[in-house]
Structure 1
């Protein structure tokens, strides 16, 4: 496998112990592309298994030719929460593979009750599809802790009712710095006391613990309505929860990618 140095800005990650050699395997694979507000993630799926993930710029997919040469890709799906750059559009046109671009008109294996589906972020939709696929017939709260912090609810009948959007960790740090003249911009890594003993720790504790309380508040609210509630937590940020809540929380940082793969396969079977 090529190193990340050969694709500046990209991190190449083989997943778990799954070894995949395209030259020795005839089965076709899926390519899933998730373009977020901060980074792009490209994943190779062998059926439901993730073979490899590459993370990098959301303005250029420089590793795309390498993946197309390395794997026998049969089809691909792309979802983006930003307007695709002209560079990415040119790169996709050079790929001789059927591409499904996820939009609000794309058929999905759940019932979308959102009243303005055209404004719904495709990452939010994919996360819900992924959670529903992994735990069907369950009432699910899906929390994505990325650039934004999102909460989605899908019931046991597979009906997605919508959700809420809140600022993520970095946005909160950046907003405090931008709106308060004497508050510094800090990193999320560092000492995290119960109450800050300096301005830096006060900001870090206030933001991160505030998000934790926010998440726990949503979970407990939904538990009152749905005692059998299960929670999926995805995204790049990690939080701490009390023991009573940990038992119902499933952490899956690849939930959006799994949802996109599920949508791609669903559209293939519908043909």
Structure 2
């Protein structure tokens, strides 16, 4: 069984994958100071709760955009699972897709993995929108080549910046507004309208521009924890794929083991 680890700026996702099927997944806040021993205590308890044992894991693959977190994850794999992990984009797990940009080494592992997963599942020309710490828009052509994209501040990051910079604004939870009115009657509803509907407008506007520039039929795929929050109030997405990065890791691991 494969243990796939997606280390993002905000959260790490650990997923058990068996023959391409995700059997279990767990999430923990990203902290580069967390040791391999701390990961092991937490993860072993969760494995047992799901009915799995440490020996069930025969392969580990790590995809990370947090370089400082990599070492302890590698130690976790070698010390507690007895396997040398694959690292997405390196060595045996080098990218099997073309990154057609001037600085391919600067493409985040999550974006390359999303491109792989999206192309394998859907084909054709694609736009992948990932709602994470940043909101990224990635363009993948019909051949599976990564062509570039867009990076925008994530919605939680935007809201945190707003609250931090304005002393009298309260901290609010991210949620879909109760109705579609864009005239807020309280400070809290005005903030929610600005963040939520402003984000919807950004998504729809950027997707429209990308489609016009690509000039061919495009499938728009949304992933990341907040994708479902926006799916209710926009028709910009064709597909929701909540586990796209993990699916990309599984594909990369499968290709590396041949």
Q: Is the 8 A contact 1:36 1:80 kept in 2?
A: yes
User: Equivalent residue for 1:92?
Assistant: 77
Taking structure 1 as reference, are residues 89 and 46 closer, same or farther at Cα in structure 2, changes over 3 Å only?
A: closer
1:75 aligns with 2:64: no
Q: 1:202 aligns with which of 186, 190, 214?
A: 190
Which stretches in structure 1 are left out of the alignment for 5+ residues?
A: 1-28
State the Cα distance separating 1:152 from its structure 2 match: 0.3
| Structure 1 consecutive aligned stretches of length 4 or more whose deviation exceeds 6 Å | none
Taking structure 1 as reference, are residues 41 and 250 closer, same or farther at Cα in structure 2, changes over 3 Å only?
A: same
**Which stretch of the first structure deviates more once superposed, 171-180 or 69-78?**
69-78
Taking structure 1 as reference, are residues 52 and 117 closer, same or farther at Cα in structure 2, changes over 3 Å only?
A: same
Q: Is the 8 A contact 1:104 1:120 kept in 2?
A: no
Q: 1:181 aligns with which of 160, 167, 171?
A: 167
Taking structure 1 as reference, are residues 53 and 114 closer, same or farther at Cα in structure 2, changes over 3 Å only?
A: same
User: Equivalent residue for 1:157?
Assistant: 143
| Aligned-CA RMSD value | 2.2
Give the 5 Å matches for 1:1-271: 29-59=1-31, 60=34, 61-62=39-40, 63-65=42-44, 67=47, 69-70=53-54, 72-82=56-66, 83-84=68-69, 87-94=72-79, 95-103=81-89, 106-136=93-123, 138-189=124-175, 191-192=177-178, 193-224=181-212, 225-237=214-226, 238-239=229-230, 240-243=232-235, 245-246=236-237, 249-269=238-258
**Which stretch of the first structure deviates more once superposed, 85-94 or 250-259?**
85-94
Q: How many residues are matched?
A: 237
User: Equivalent residue for 1:14?
Assistant: none
Which stretches in structure 2 are left out of the alignment for 5+ residues?
A: none
State the Cα distance separating 1:91 from its structure 2 match: 2.4
More helix by share: 2
Q: Is the 8 A contact 2:64 2:70 kept in 1?
A: no
Q: Is the 8 A contact 1:108 1:267 kept in 2?
A: no
3-state DSSP class of the match of 1:111? coil
Using structure 1 for the length normalisation, give the TM-score: 0.80
Using structure 2 for the length normalisation, give the TM-score: 0.83
